[in-house]
Amino acid sequence: MKKLICFILTITLILWNGCIEKKSDNLEEKTKREYIVYNIEDIPKDLIMLNSNNIRQKDLLIALFEGLVSTDEKGNIIPALAESWEINKDYTFYSFKIRENAYWSNGDKITSKDFKKLFDILLNNNKINNDFIINSREDSILEIKSIHPCTYLLDLLSEPVYRLRNIDNKLSNWKVKYNEIKYTGAFKIDSITNENEVILTKNNYYWGKNNVKSNKLKLSFIKGSENALANFKINNIDFFENIPLSEKESLTDSNNIKMFSSQIGECINFNLYKKGIVRDINFRKAISLSINRSQICSNVLKNTVESALAYVPYDIKDGLNGLFRKKNYFSEYGDVQKAKEYLNKSNYFKNREKIVLIYVKDLNNKRVCQHIKEYLKSNLNIDLELKEYDESEILDAIKNGDYDLIKTSYNGECNYPSSFLEKWTSYSNFNKYGYNNNKYDKLIEKANIESNKFTKKQLLQIAENTLMEDYVTIPLYFKKVVLCKKENINGLKVTKIGNIDFTNVYIKYIQ
């Protein structure tokens, strides 16, 4: 059915643009154009994005602005607007040297005062921990002091929200005032078409302009994976994410798919605010242990994800030049027999409460939740009721509390385990689900002030173990960033949190 829809959309687009013969000429012209078209899907409301969780929209932030540091293809920290930095032994003091050739897009010199202004705003919006003190010692030196040791500050500063920009009404009204915005990244907004397509051109004041391989990019905002694929097939766009799963095999065969691993997790959380069976740990264990991740990853999501057998992603660093992962907490295939034992210990079959699973309206979410519903009914005789909400409605649904389970996403702010585990402290903004374990809070707090990296790692591993033993969240899988692209698109780089960096993207024409 999906293939039929995509075929119809493709034919419709061709006919809409005129006769087939004329379209053939247009296709040839589009194939030879000297700029790349990338479909983001949703146009950003603003370019401030302090509270945005939309990874694709932040691709635009990365293109237009740059921070003190960045990451390479392997997630290693590399210099950006800061050409170098010094760190004291206990990781409580960082000194960054701003590049001599760092300029805003209007030619103004970038100074440490610009970063202090941004970071002060982030501090006021709780995007930087209050443990930090920001100081502009001189125009080229920015100092960050921390009350407690912070071994992962560089990883934190590499994330999109810390990229240098003036937080003002120009960013709020960027579609009107884009010509007035001062940019610090590889590109700037040149124009916005009548179709709301955004034209980016190289920022000639960017310090690394000689390494930027494209002079021009176009960003489109076509909604829906089938619509995007139809436009891809007639060369209206060159690459996009969020492919129709029904088309994955054929697109892979035609060499149009490129996948990147990421640290974006999907999980099911229990609503512990709600009285009833979800507060019974045996019931939570039963559901948690029964899940067959292999079926979800391969059958439902066509290997566009990989199983999450623990809460912290596989490739998160431990601060000791190694990886944090110590153990797996779940079986790839689930353990239905053990799940049944725990379910029988619970009070579920005495009352058979209605169990409501909510999720954000999305085709893949629906597929996964429907699969889980059928799986739990078939294997544990548990009845689930599914409710879907628009993204704008899901927070209200959480506040109302009329649900038992929620399928949701999670991600760390940086490549360090505490950025994932801190989410489950009792005072975290992420933790809207009623989990409150004083032991867990103390472990995270102790780890945060620990200067010994090995001891810090041990404390965080104990914390993850505590979280998993409380069965308040069920890690399902980690997403892969699946890009559908033309064969002549080269230089794509995807960060560990799933953002696309356009700096080295270019078209390679085969003569």
CATH number, domain with residue 188: 3.40.190.10
CA distance 468 to 309: 10
Residues 458 and 313 both lie in one domain:
yes
- Residue 104: CA count within 13 A, CB half-sphere: 14
C-alpha distances out from residue 249 to 78, 253, 483, Å: 36, 6, 13
CATH number, domain with residue 368: 3.10.105.10
Token representation of residue 160: 């999109």
Q: pTM here?
A: 0.87
Residues 22 and 153 both lie in one domain:
no
C-alpha distances out from residue 364 to 170, 305, 370, Å: 36, 11, 10
CA distance 348 to 340: 11
Is the CB of residue 304 less than 8 Å from the CB of residue 482?
yes
Nearest to 32 by CA among 220, 309, 238: 238
What stretches in the chain show pLDDT beneath 70?
A: 1-32, 509-511
DSSP state letters, 55-76 = HHHHHHHHHH---SEEE-TTS-
Residue 175 lies in a domain: no
Neighbours of 158 (CB within 10 A): 25
Listed in order, strand segments (DSSP E) in 174-244 are 187-192, 198-202, 216-220, 239-241
Residues 355 and 452 both lie in one domain:
yes
Query: Which tens digits make up the pLDDT trace of 29-73?
Result: 455 678 999 999 989 999 999 888 889 999 999 999 999 999 987
Length of the chain as a residue count: 511
CA distance 59 to 476: 25
Neighbours of 277 (CB within 10 A): 21
Residues 244 and 362 both lie in one domain:
no
Q: What is the pLDDT, as a whole number, of residue 23?
A: 44
C-alpha distances out from residue 163 to 151, 266, 330, Å: 20, 26, 37
From 128, 162, 196, give the residue that closes a domain. 162
CA distance 160 to 320: 25
Provide the number of structural domains found in the chain.
Answer: 3
Residues 203 and 76 both lie in one domain:
no
Is the CB of residue 240 less than 8 Å from the CB of residue 38?
yes
Q: What is the pLDDT, as a whole number, of residue 510?
A: 55
User: 12 CB contacts (<8 Å, ≥6 apart)?
Assistant: 230
Local structure of residue 298 (DSSP, 8 states): I
Residue 240 lies in domain: 2-64+180-256+486-507
Q: Which helix (H) or strand (E) holds 228?
A: helix 225-233
Residue 408 lies in a domain: yes
Residues 290 and 424 both lie in one domain:
yes
Q: What is the pLDDT, as a whole number, of residue 20?
A: 40
Amino acid at 170: K
Burial class (CB in 10 A: 0-12, 13-18, 19+), 371: middle
Query: Which tens digits make up the pLDDT trace of 353-376?
Result: 999 999 999 999 999 999 999 999
Residue 171 lies in a domain: no
Residue 168 lies in a domain: no
Mean pLDDT for the chain? 91
Q: What is the pLDDT, as a whole number, of residue 15?
A: 46
Residues 365 and 277 both lie in one domain:
yes
Residues 301 and 430 both lie in one domain:
yes
Residue 399 lies in a domain: yes
CA distance 169 to 157: 24
Residue 173 lies in a domain: no
Long-range contacts from 328-332, C-beta under 8 angstroms, 24+ separation: 329/468, 329/475, 330/288, 330/289, 330/291, 330/293, 330/475, 331/289, 332/292, 332/293, 332/294, 332/307
Residues 331 and 412 both lie in one domain:
yes
Q: What is the pLDDT, as a whole number, of residue 16?
A: 47
Residues 440 and 302 both lie in one domain:
yes
C-alpha distances out from residue 397 to 209, 212, 359, 389, Å: 46, 44, 10, 8
Is the CB of residue 36 less than 8 Å from the CB of residue 505?
yes
CATH number, domain with residue 88: 3.90.76.10
Residues 345 and 372 both lie in one domain:
yes
Token representation of residue 140: 């080229």
Q: What is the pLDDT, as a whole number, of residue 117?
A: 96
Residues 22 and 154 both lie in one domain:
no
From 129, 162, 195, give the residue that closes a domain. 162
Residue 192 lies in a domain: yes
Residue 169 lies in a domain: no
